[in-house]
Amino acid sequence: QKADIGLIGLGVMGSNLALNIAEKGHRVAVFNRTTARTTAFAQSAGALAERIVACDTIEALAAAIRPPRPIILMVQAGKAVDEQITLLRGVLSANDIIIDAGNANFRDTVRRFSELRGSGLTFIGMGVSGGEEGARHGPSIMVGGTEDSWRRVEPVLTAISAKYEGEPCAAWLGNGGAGHFVKTIHNGIEYADMQMIAEIYGILRDGLGMPPKEIGGVFGEWNRSRLNSYLIEITATVLAADDAATGKPIVDMILDRAGQKGTGKWSVIEAQTLGIPATAIEAAVAARVLSSMKAEREAAEAAYGKLSAGSFGRDKAAILADLELALFAGKVAAYAQGFAVMDAASKEFGWGLPLPTIAKIWRAGCIIRSQFLGTIAEAFEAGGATRNLLMAPAFIAMMKEAHPSLRRMVARASEEGLPVPALSSALAYFDSYRQARGTSNLIQAQRDFFGAHGFERIDAEGAHHGPWAGEA
Ligand code: 6PG
């Protein structure tokens, strides 16, 4: 009996996805560059092994799948994907579908589409979110490619995806690089969410002098209301955990240096290229970069002195209530930015990205899953967020309630020297966005002064110059 689908790359994500596919009743043929891993995987699959066909060559993989063959690539983004595509081109035939399920840069995906054009093969660029657990039991799946190619793989992808109240968190989002673009922005938002949570943790730790377990309790509490989300939930769990070796809270034993693999940075680059401010995401990416400069930060602390701890304020209950709302307001701004980037990209690349659907397939399975995404989907469906989420009636109401807290907490943190780069960027974005008369009249005057760039007047059409001609 031939397999329904193939999968290449048995790393953590690939093996879990293969088990998920098998569990949903599909026969899956698997291949890994190192055969030992393929063998070990098949041996460890338990009862699911009967639906797993272990292949030790790419030819065997192709032969094991019923044509037209869908094959998922779950290999490291970049060169490895191109190498596997080249190998597959030698063994596949017309109508077979190559599905790149890694965290590809959507520009690579666009290139791969054009390289495969005329080959008879179909290509899909698919974003998969949810980490190990998601891959095994139901990730959120963002598909880019032709609608026809999606129809062909829809049954298996919806079967393996997460479900939100029964609705599959898998959807076709548009042609070409649409799926990988949306996954990239998902990760950009993920960076902002994580950074803002870390900033609040910093205030609780250094401003209020709270120990990890108590901070974990606060996040656990917040997880029961408007901040309810996977990232808040795991933050509470992480903060409660002890290190097996020392018995101390594990967070206190972890070096404050965060890594990154590229998707956050790409979101920022694409936002800039599209001319959309995504400042909370930018701040989060920059914060990771700064975190990596550990030795420099140590030297700077020695030069400038250490911050005094525990002086944030006395009324702890009031501060905690403010921090919860501040985090929520920051989150609103970050999501508004992320969705604005997707909206602009959709227009630029002609994708027709379905923003409400994107919010819906992020409600379960993915890393940024939350109750809040349901609110976003409703706002888009009600048609009130045509320009920016911040203009949806429900969001206007939420921000009116929450921004004073964000303002107070950013101000207080700044006075204490506690860094809140993402939260303060979110606030600055909000304040700039809501200011009908800003200050770039002065920028225009300066540009005209030194470069005769001209400016528009508030009372007349056309380009004008100031009275400083000849003074530069
Ligand atoms: C997900 C995650 C996942 C991963 C990324 C981002 O949606 O399941 O976003 O794709 O965590 O690699 O991670 P970095 O923090 O390593 O850039």
Report the atom number in ligand 1 closest to the C-alpha of 258: 15
Catalytic residue at 183?
yes
Ligand 1 centre and the CA of 266: distance in Å? 13
Report the atom number in ligand 1 closest to the C-alpha of 131: 8
37 is in an annotated binding site: no
Tell the residue nearest (CA) to atom 14 of ligand 1: 260
Tell the residue nearest (CA) to atom 4 of ligand 1: 131
Confirm if 226 and 321 have CB atoms less than 8 A apart: no
Ligand 1 centre and the CA of 208: distance in Å? 31
Report the atom number in ligand 1 closest to the C-alpha of 140: 7
Best residue among 20, 186, 187 to mutate for probing ligand 1, ranked by most atoms within 8 Å of CB: 187
Q: Where exactly are the structural domains of the chain?
A: 5-176, 184-433, 442-472
Chain-centroid distance of CA 174 in Å reads 18
Ligand 1 centre and the CA of 130: distance in Å? 9
Tokens of 102: 């890694």
pLDDT of the residue at 208: 95
Best residue among 193, 261, 288 to mutate for probing ligand 1, ranked by most atoms within 8 Å of CB: 261
What contacts 308, CB < 8 A, 6 or more positions away?
Answer: 416
Tell the residue nearest (CA) to atom 1 of ligand 1: 129
Who lines ligand 1 at CB under 6 A? Answer: 103, 129-131, 187, 190, 259-261, 263-264, 366-367
Name the phi and psi angles at 103, rounded to 5. -85, 70
Ligand 1 centre and the CA of 183: distance in Å? 10
Q: What is the pLDDT along the chain (472 residues), one digit of tens a residue?
A: 999 999 999 999 999 999 999 999 999 999 999 999 999 999 999 999 999 999 999 999 999 999 999 999 999 999 999 999 999 999 999 999 999 999 999 999 999 999 999 999 999 999 999 999 999 999 999 999 999 999 999 999 999 999 999 999 999 999 999 999 999 999 999 999 999 999 999 999 999 999 999 999 999 999 999 999 999 999 999 999 999 999 999 999 999 999 999 999 999 999 999 999 999 999 999 999 999 999 999 999 999 998 877 789 889 999 999 999 999 999 999 999 999 999 999 999 999 999 999 999 999 999 999 999 999 999 999 987 778 999 999 999 999 999 999 999 999 999 999 999 999 999 999 999 999 999 999 999 999 999 999 999 999 999 999 999 777 6
Ligand 1 centre and the CA of 264: distance in Å? 9
pTM metric for this prediction: 0.97
Confirm if 430 and 336 have CB atoms less than 8 A apart: no
H-type alpha helices, 50-105: 58-64, 79-91
Report the atom number in ligand 1 closest to the C-alpha of 260: 17
Report the atom number in ligand 1 closest to the C-alpha of 366: 7
Class of domain 5-176: alpha beta
Dump pLDDT digits (tens) for 352-406. 999 999 999 999 999 999 999 999 999 999 987 778 999 999 999 999 999 999 9
DSSP run (H or E) holding 446: helix 440-451
This model of the complex carries an ipTM of 0.96
DSSP run (H or E) holding 124: strand 122-129
Ligand 1 centre and the CA of 421: distance in Å? 21
Catalytic pick among 50, 190, 265, 401: 190
Report the atom number in ligand 1 closest to the C-alpha of 261: 17
Best residue among 190, 292, 358 to mutate for probing ligand 1, ranked by most atoms within 8 Å of CB: 190
129 is in an annotated binding site: yes
Q: What CATH code is assigned to 184-433?
A: 1.10.1040.10
35 is in an annotated binding site: no
405 is in an annotated binding site: no
To the nearest 10 degrees (0 to 180), the angle between helices 147-160 and 12-23 is 80
pLDDT of the residue at 472: 63
Q: Cβ of 234: how many Cβ atoms within 10 Å?
A: 14
Catalytic residue at 79?
no
Tokens of 372: 């809040």
pLDDT of the residue at 319: 98
Name the DSSP letter for residue 51.
G
10 is in an annotated binding site: yes
Best residue among 105, 263, 289 to mutate for probing ligand 1, ranked by most atoms within 8 Å of CB: 263
Provide the pairing of β-strand 70-73 with 5-8: parallel
CATH topology for the 442-472 domain: 1.20.5
Ligand 1 centre and the CA of 195: distance in Å? 14
Tell the residue nearest (CA) to atom 11 of ligand 1: 131
DSSP run (H or E) holding 243: none
Name the phi and psi angles at 141, rounded to 5. -125, 120
Ligand 1 centre and the CA of 134: distance in Å? 12
Catalytic pick among 59, 83, 115, 183: 183
Provide the pairing of β-strand 97-100 with 170-174: unpaired
Q: Is the peptide bond before 168 cis (omega within 30 degrees of 0)?
A: no
Burial 44-70, CB ≥16 within 10 A → b, else e: ebeebeebbbbbeebeebbebbeeebb
316 is in an annotated binding site: no
117 is in an annotated binding site: no
12 is in an annotated binding site: yes
Tell the residue nearest (CA) to atom 10 of ligand 1: 129
